[in-house]
């Protein structure tokens, strides 16, 4: 089966008991034992496994080219599970530009003191090598393209460096999705997603998932964290995520096409200092993204001339593009990252991050152009 077909059929079949074509939502918390005490369908209790979650996990495994998917209540629960499951007590090497929630996880919970974290700019492979060899390392965490600087890093080169040092490499593939980038094929030991974003695709669910290849040492510990720590994905969220998956390939095509047009329009605006988007020829990540991804994604950042105040004026004038956090849904969203991230943010003051949605690209561009308009002088 090809990717588009898997997105619709993997993990799902016409329901043999009813003929239902769309996967039924199973909400049962418990499942009946046979007279002999066994569980005829393999399901026992909702937290251990349930039909809707298992279908979502199988579908994700198929799309990422992995063996098993393990679904959690959120992307952050999936990340926490990976940190808690990595096989050694060694250091965790992270990118210095990454999803801000990981920094908060380290700063605001016990995770920060339980593990030894080191952050590096992963565009610099020598810096990655130095970080994983200077101290025993168990896990290298990769995010590409990254938040909010939209940096592209070389997954296969980083995996090789990690493996030479005896560490595992896990890729947060939330922004690229398996439509654009398949880290397991590039040597990653696991792939993680916030399904809240493109997988769900409609900003109406929360879930996370980790996909592992066959015989992964992460599989059992991740299952145990899922089952016993219990931050599992709810059946309804898995059902929505499965619905979202069916249109993921075509949505990504439209997202990418729109983002390319928006990026080009922004790049030609005199009040935009810089557009960070690998689809632009002069972007430092362009060549690598061309090799590593099948398209450039739909997340971009741009830096407004005039810093924080100017960026806030522009965001405040938008009428169609919604000022909100998150990404990957049908609505175009914009966010001033420096104010969201607070004092520890490294985001430039003038930076606005955009998730380009599925509205007509010209309507998005018209809104941005009127907001950037000639009249502001912040």
Among positions 184-203, residues that touch ligand PLP (CB under 6 A) are 194, 196-197
Q: Is 282 exposed, middle or buried (0-12, 13-18, 19+ CB in 10 A)?
A: exposed
Q: How far apart are CA 301 and CA 156, in angstroms?
A: 25
Catalytic residue among 103, 129, 182, 197: 197
Whether 202 and 326 have beta carbons less than 8 Å apart is answered as: no
Compute how many other C-beta atoms are within 10 angstroms of the C-beta atom of residue 314.
Answer: 26
Closest CA to 231 of 210, 212, 208: 208
Which DSSP symbol is given to 145? S
CB of 174 to ligand PLP, least distance (A): 4
Tokens of 330: 């049908």
The catalytically annotated residue of 99, 123, 198, 367 is: 99
Question: Could you tell me how many residues of this chain bind ligand PLP (CB under 6 A)?
Answer: 15
Nearer to ligand PLP among residue 76 and residue 248 (C-beta): 76
Among 57, 172, 219, 283, binds ligand PLP (CB under 6 A): 172
Is residue 189 part of the annotated active site? The answer reads no
206 near ligand PLP (CB under 6 A): yes
Site for ligand PLP in 101-130 (CB under 6 A): 101
What distance in Å separates the CA atoms of residue 139 and residue 132, rounded to the nearest whole number?
9
Residue 172 bears catalytic tag: yes
One of 53, 103, 129, 172 is an active-site residue; which one?
172
Instruction: Name the minimum Å distance from CB 374 to ligand PLP.
Output: 34
CA pair distance 200, 181, nearest whole angstrom: 17
**123-162 mask for ligand PLP (x: CB under 6 A)?**
--------------------x---x---------------
The pair of structure tokens assigned to 213 is 């290849």
Rounded CA-CA distance 309/377 in Å is: 10
Candidate list 69, 178, 208, 213; residue touching ligand PLP; CB under 6 A: 208
* 3 state SS of 322: strand
Task: Count other C-beta atoms under 10 Å from residue 140's C-beta.
Answer: 30
Residue 144: asked if its preceding bond is cis (omega within 30°), the reply is no
Residue 211, judged by CB atoms within 10 A of its CB (0-12, 13-18, 19+), counts as buried
Residue 216 contacts ligand PLP per CB under 6 A: no
26 forms part of the interface with ligand PLP (CB under 6 A): no
Written as six digits, the tokens of 261 are: 């047009």
Tokens of 203: 């900003």
Told to judge if 227 belongs to the known catalytic residues of this protein, a careful annotator would answer no
We find the least distance from the C-beta atom of residue 327 to ligand PLP, in angstroms, to be 6
Which CB sits closer to ligand PLP, 300 or 313? 300
Q: Residue 197 Cβ, how far from ligand PLP at the closest point, in Å?
A: 5
Classify residue 197 as exposed, middle or buried by CB count within 10 Å of its CB (0-12, 13-18, 19+). buried
Q: Cα separation of 328 and 325, whole Å?
A: 10
Only one of the segments 7-15, 43-51, 74-82, 221-229 lies at the binding site for ligand PLP (rule: CB under 6 A); that segment is 74-82
Candidate segments 5-13, 88-96, 169-177, 350-358, binder of ligand PLP by CB under 6 A? 169-177
> Taking the complex as a whole, how short is the minimal distance between the CB of residue 102 and ligand PLP, in angstroms?
7
Q: Does the protein bind ligand PLP through residue 174 (CB under 6 A)?
A: yes
Q: Report yes or no: 147 and 175 within 8 Å, Cβ to Cβ.
A: yes
* Residue 226 engages ligand PLP in binding (rule: CB under 6 A): no
Applying CB under 6 A, among 75, 201, 278, 285 the residue interacting with ligand PLP is: 75
- Does 76 sit near ligand PLP (CB under 6 A)? yes
Give CA–CA dist 171/157, Å, rounded.
13
Does 99 help bind ligand PLP (rule: CB under 6 A)?
yes
Catalytic residue list = 47, 99, 172, 197
Give the footprint of ligand PLP on this chain (CB under 6 A). Answer: 74-76, 99, 101, 143, 147, 172, 174-175, 194, 196-197, 206, 208
């Amino acid at each position: 089966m090809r990717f588009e077909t898997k997105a619709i059929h993997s993990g799902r079949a016409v329901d043999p008991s009813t003929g239902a074509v769309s996967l039924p939502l199973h909400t049962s918390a418990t499942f009946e034992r046979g007279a002999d005490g066994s569980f005829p369908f393999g399901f026992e209790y909702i937290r251990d496994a349930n039909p809707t979650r298992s279908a979502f996990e199988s579908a994700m495994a198929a799309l990422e080219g992995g063996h098993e998917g393990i679904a959690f209540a959120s992307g952050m629960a999936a990340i926490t599970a990976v940190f808690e499951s990595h096989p050694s007590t060694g250091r965790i090497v992270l990118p210095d530009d990454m999803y801000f929630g990981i920094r908060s996880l380290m700063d605001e919970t016990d995770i920060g003191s339980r593990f030894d974290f080191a952050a590096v700019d992963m565009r610099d492979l020598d810096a990655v090598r130095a970080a994983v060899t200077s101290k025993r390392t168990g896990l290298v965490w990769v995010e590409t393209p990254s938040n909010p600087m939209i940096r592209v890093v070389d997954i296969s080169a980083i995996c090789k460096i990690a493996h030479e040092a005896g560490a595992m490499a896990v890729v947060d593939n939330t922004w690229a999705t398996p439509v654009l980038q398949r880290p397991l094929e590039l040597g990653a030991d696991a792939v993680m997603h916030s399904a809240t974003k493109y997988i769900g695709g409609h900003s109406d669910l929360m879930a996370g998932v980790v996909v592992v290849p066959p015989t992964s040492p992460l599989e059992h510990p991740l299952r145990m964290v899922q089952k016993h720590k219990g931050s599992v994905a709810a059946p309804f969220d898995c059902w929505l995520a499965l619905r979202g998956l069916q249109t993921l390939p075509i949505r990504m095509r439209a997202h990418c096409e729109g983002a390319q047009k928006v990026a080009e329009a922004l790049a030609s605006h005199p009040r935009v200092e810089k557009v960070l988007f690998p689809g632009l020829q002069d972007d430092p990540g362009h060549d690598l993204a061309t090799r590593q991804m099948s398209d450039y994604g739909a997340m971009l950042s741009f830096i407004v001339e005039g810093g924080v105040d100017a960026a806030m004026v522009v965001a405040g004038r938008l009428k169609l593009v919604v000022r909100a956090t998150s990404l990957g849904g049908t609505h175009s969203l914009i966010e001033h990252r420096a104010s969201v991230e607070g004092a520890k943010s490294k985001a430039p003051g003038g930076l606005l991050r955009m998730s380009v949605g599925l509205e007509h690209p010209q309507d998005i561009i018209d809104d941005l152009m009127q907001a950037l308009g000639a009249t502001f002088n912040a």
